[in-house]
Structure 1
Amino acid sequence: MLRVSYEAVLKLVSVAALVPDVRQALISGLMCPPRGHHELGSANADGAFLIMPAWRPGGALGVKIATAFPRNHDRGHPFIQGEFLLFDGATGTPVASIDGRALTLLRTAAVSAVAADLLAPPAAETLLMVGTGALAPHLIAGHLSIRKYAEVLVWGRDPGKAASLARQLRQDGIEATAADDLQRAARHADVICSATSSQTPLIRGAWLKPRAHLDLVGSFQPWMRESDDDCVRGALVVTDTLGALAESGDLLDPVTRGVLARERVFLLEEMLRRGPLTQDLGVSVFKSVGVATSDLAAAEHIYARMIETSQRAGRAAIASGS
């Protein structure tokens, strides 16, 4: 069985390359039973244990087993850790074990890009990244793969980390600036992407432009919130799974209080099947918590690239006589 490490995944695959495969997976009817999401409680640092299977009828199948421990930021360990096992669909034989953290970083960013391609203003000029963790550069890369933003703003609770990420982005040729005032940056942005572990709202609906797109990534537990109720009040709200209504405080809280009706929350895969949106959307909100179909699409892509790279290296070795 092939093992693909964290470093190998990030070297082999870009977010932009994953976007078409992830989009197709979301609309093509892959099988995806409800994921196992188990809250571990305070005895396990308020972590969560996730089991996410998916399979392609007549094709590959796989499962991601992952942990999400919010307090790991303070312990020097990654927030998300895990492994994806990929199996041959004809024989059930395990063919690859892929680092789950790297796969999750890339596929999460790819799903956000797919959603923004559908929902974000076509002429968006300013992207605001709220959060400076491991996901942030991948999310920015995803958004830049579908909109040509004139500027990227980065805000973090630690100004030093925001400045560091902006500097890294500039070295990669991206016009990025650290923002010191979140409200001012949010009012200026056309698209806001947020990936934090905040338990209280950071982003206020009163700050959003009339045609803003809000990409909420961080909240995956009921007590976690990145946005206030006004962000979803009257907005077009889309999610990657209706499980988010119970798992994420960003949707659970406003639904519980009657601010947001359950029937006004739409699935991304259904929206994609309808085709491009032509009407003025007003404010749009995409809330992701992760779906196994996108994991499987990413795993298949990574595995194919690994095989291709190995074969190319083998041919080169033969040609050189080594």
Structure 2
Amino acid sequence: MLVLNEQETIAALDWSALIDALERMFASDCVMPVRHHHDVKVPNRADATLLLMPAWVPGGYCGVKLVSVYPDNHLSGLPAVQGSYLLTSGQTGETLALINGNALTARRTAAASALAARYLAREDASRLLMVGTGRLSLNVIEAHAKVRSIREVSIWGRNTANAEKTAEQARELGFDAIAVTDLEKAARQADIISCATLATEPLIKGEWLQPGSHLDLIGGFKPSMREADDRAIARARVFVDTRAGAMSEAGDIVQPLQNGSLKPEAICGELAELVGARVPGRRRPDEITFFKSVGAALEDLAGAILAYETALNTKIR
């Protein structure tokens, strides 16, 4: 069995290859049951949660991501979220690889947004606004730069020092990046706005979106979380990674559906329909596009297969 740690997983997931792998997987006959979770009792500490996300390609590969959320892990000096991916043969069930789940999740999440931007962002989009300074921010910047010629990157965060640090790290990667404090001004100037935050109240207002802009929402993974307001929904053509996930879990979709500012039929398409050419992506240079992702198990499977095959081929050589 192949075991890949965090750095080995990152090294095996080249951005361009990963984005292409996700595109192929969304166009495939991958089976993706609904993910499920279990409460786990932890003596003398807060309850934990075990999440399981299975997916398989019949006759190909099968895998499951296991994510453990232990809220009191800070008492032990450990991250609250721990993850791993178990990849097996879809022919025999043989265990093939154990892959670092944190690195896999961060990179496949960013790659999914970049894949959507390949279809929804303007061809000449060059100015990216990154809202949020967490683990995903640098991944999102790097991934988007693989599908569009990003020349300028603005980074906004509630903590100015963190935004400055993230901008410095982006510059070390070769990007012309600056930290900004005026979110409205930065949003009005951006071609692509990516949000990866834990916000429960909208950060991006629809009135700020300029004709031709693309809004990419990553952070809100609960119905109570929002990163953009109803006006943003109303002004844009709306797309999601999967309807099943976004319409039940994402506050940026669930809340507008509940208050009537978004009708189910107004969701123009999901990633599988975009990559399969069953729905059109961007139609005009001046239209505003909106993409909401919550994550899908097939994305993890695509990344795990790529990491396994890349690492195996490297080892054989």
Which residue of 1 is the match for residue 283 of structure 2? 279
State the superposition RMSD in angstroms.
2.5
Deviations 1:14-35 (A, max 9, x none): 3222111111101112111222
Judged with a 3 Å threshold, the aligned counterparts in structure 2 of structure 1 residues 157 and 46 are, in CA distance, closer, same or farther, namely farther
Instruction: Tell me the residue number matched to 1:320.
Output: none
Equivalent-residue separation in structure 2 for 1:278 and 1:3 (angstroms): 40
Deviation per CA, 1:19-54, whole angstroms, max 9, x where unpaired?
Answer: 1111110111211122225689xx987976432111
Counterpart of 2:151 in structure 1 is 150
Q: What TM-score do you get using the length of structure 2 for normalisation?
A: 0.91
* Contact 1:31 1:56 (C-alpha < 8 Å) held by counterparts: yes
Give 1:286's aligned amino acid.
F
Where in structure 2 are the equivalents of 1:1-322 lying within 5 Å? 1-37=1-37, 49-67=50-68, 77-78=78-79, 80-242=81-243, 243-265=245-267, 266-274=269-277, 277=281, 279-280=283-284, 282-312=287-317
* Contact 2:199–2:220 (CA under 8 A) maintained in structure 1: yes
TM-score (norm 1): 0.89
User: Is contact 1:35-1:50 (8 Å) kept?
Assistant: yes
CA distance in 1, matches of 2:83, 2:64: 11
- Counterpart contact for 1:239–1:267, Cα < 8 Å: yes
Q: Call closer, same or farther: CA 1:47–1:216 in 2, change over 3 Å.
A: farther
Any conservation in 2 of the 1:198–1:225 contact (CA below 8 Å)? Answer: yes
SS at match of 1:53: strand
Q: Is the 8 A contact 2:119 2:282 kept in 1?
A: no
List structure 1 runs of 4+ shifted beyond 3 angstroms.
37-40, 43-49, 67-80, 275-278
Change (3 A) 1:167 1:277: same
Shift of 1:236: 1.1
Per-residue deviation at 1:13?
Answer: 2.2
Question: What SS does the aligned partner of 1:183 have?
Answer: helix
* TM-aligned CA deviation for residue 58 of structure 1: 1.4
Secondary structure at 1:250 match in 2: helix
Cα deviation for residue 67 of structure 1 reads 3.8
Amino acid at match of 2:276: R
Q: CA deviation at 1:95?
A: 1.0
My pick for the range that moved more, 239-248 or 216-225, is 239-248
Q: What residue ranges of structure 1 are gaps of 5+ in the alignment?
A: 313-322
Number of residue pairs aligned between Structure 1 and Structure 2:
311
Q: Deviations over 1:107-136 (max 9, x none)?
A: 111111100000011111210000111111
C-alpha contact (below 8 Å) 2:12/2:306 kept by paired residues: no
> How much has 1:70 moved relative to structure 2?
8.4
Given the superposition, is the C-alpha separation of residues 213 and 163 from structure 1 closer, same or farther in structure 2, using an over 3 Å criterion? Answer: same
Aligned-partner Cα distance in 2 for 1:68–1:285: 30
- Once residues 240 and 73 of structure 2 are traced to their aligned partners in structure 1, the CA distance between those partners, rounded to angstroms, is 26
SS at match of 1:51: strand
Inter-partner Cα distance in structure 2 for 1:73 and 1:120: 39
Q: How many angstroms does 1:142 deviate by?
A: 0.7
Check conservation: 2:200, 2:225, Cα contact below 8 A. Answer: yes
Structure 2 unaligned segments of length 5 or more: list them. none
Residues 148-157 or 240-249, more deviating: 240-249
The answer to whether the Cα contact below 8 Å between 1:15 and 1:107 also exists between their aligned partners in 2 is no
CA pair 27-72 structure 1, distance change in 2 beyond 3 A: farther
SS of 2:181 mapped into structure 1: coil
Bigger CA drift: 88-97 or 66-75? Answer: 66-75
Q: Deviation string for 1:217-244 (max 9, x for gaps)? A: 0000111111111111142111112221
Structure 1 distance, partners of 2:57, 2:182, is: 46
- Identify the range of structure 1 (50-59 vs 213-222) with the bigger mean alpha-carbon deviation: 50-59
* Cα separation, partners in 2 of 1:105 and 1:155, compared to 1, 3 Å: same
